[in-house]
A = this chain, B = another copy of it.
């Protein structure tokens, strides 16, 4: 079981597509979406994350999602765990291992305590039971747990099986600067890319998020590597207004899925309740954003 550090770059966070009327899993759209990710050259994929609505899926659906992705693309995969408790996380990791096998680049486990000793104990228990490499997700909006960067460093300092960190506790720039200075682990930003430029400047290894135009994340990260901050800024600005539009609290998921639908990557933009559907009042503006970005993409290719 590998516990190699995650490769830098862009990890796409995969949406879980549903049919609009029944909310059943739409495997055709899922296949199309991950093929697109592979085609544009992402480093890997994150499946069953928050944006993948994993908390809305039952066990069989999770298995189906994993199977469809594994069968469709050759990319390395990170699989998210939804639970905060040690025993159910282990159960989730085992399912991922069973389906994904050697392709599992890591299992993403949420911070479940602001006490470094307790958090380290949780992560160790998960690793010891499964052998899996662990990507630690610090996302207080979802977990309800706020840990400061110093405590997170203390928790992770001696855990060789931690293969990456996803830093989603604002201000992420400060957290990433601390984590990358103190830990020898790649740290990725998320949150739809709203802070991507600053996170790269702070030392992040790239982006791990579900922005509907991952081409923009790739353009930015590649430009940063090759040309530094100014190049990255130039590459990312054409996407940034959509990034901000997408990353609106409570409705981000519905916006993103509708953007993906407009791109013909999904058949429908449905999100499972209780997540909010797309407000009618945003539809025109969403179209403007998608059109503008698509025009930019057409020109820049």
A91–B177 CB distance below 8 A: no
Task: Indicate with 1 or 0, residue by residue over A93-119, a CB within 8 angstroms of chain B CB atoms.
Answer: 000000000000000000011010011
The stretch of A36-44, A66-74, A190-198 in contact with B is A190-198
CA distance in complex: A249, B175 (Å): 12
Find residues 136-162 in chain A having any chain B CB closer than 8 Å to their own CB: 144
Is A261's CB within 8 Å of the partner chain B? no
How many interface residues does A have (CB within 8 Å)? 60
A273–B122 CB distance below 8 A: yes
CA distance in complex: A130, B202 (Å): 43
Is A250's CB within 8 Å of the partner chain B? yes
Q: Which residue of B86, B170, B181, B244 is within 8 Å of A273 (Cβ)?
A: B86
The stretch of A6-14, A27-35, A207-215, A228-236 in contact with B is A228-236
Q: Which residue of B144, B178, B230, B292 is within 8 Å of A233 (Cβ)?
A: B292
A202-B285, A244-B198 known; A58+B274 contact, CB < 8 A: no
Contacts of A194 in B (CB 8 A): 194, 244
Copy count, this protein chain: 4
CA distance in complex: A281, B244 (Å): 24
CA distance in complex: A178, B181 (Å): 34
Find residues 200-242 in chain A having any chain B CB closer than 8 Å to their own CB: 201-202, 229-230, 233, 236-238, 240-241
A88–B55 CB distance below 8 A: yes
Find the B residue at minimum CB distance from A90: B58
Contacts of A274 in B (CB 8 A): 84, 112-113, 115, 118-119, 122
CA distance in complex: A56, B113 (Å): 14
Find the B residue at minimum CB distance from A177: B281
Is A21's CB within 8 Å of the partner chain B? no
Is A174's CB within 8 Å of the partner chain B? yes
CA distance in complex: A248, B170 (Å): 7
Q: What are 12 pairs between A and B in contact, CB < 8 Å? A: A55-B83, A58-B90, A87-B272, A113-B274, A171-B251, A174-B282, A194-B194, A197-B245, A198-B241, A198-B245, A237-B238, A244-B244
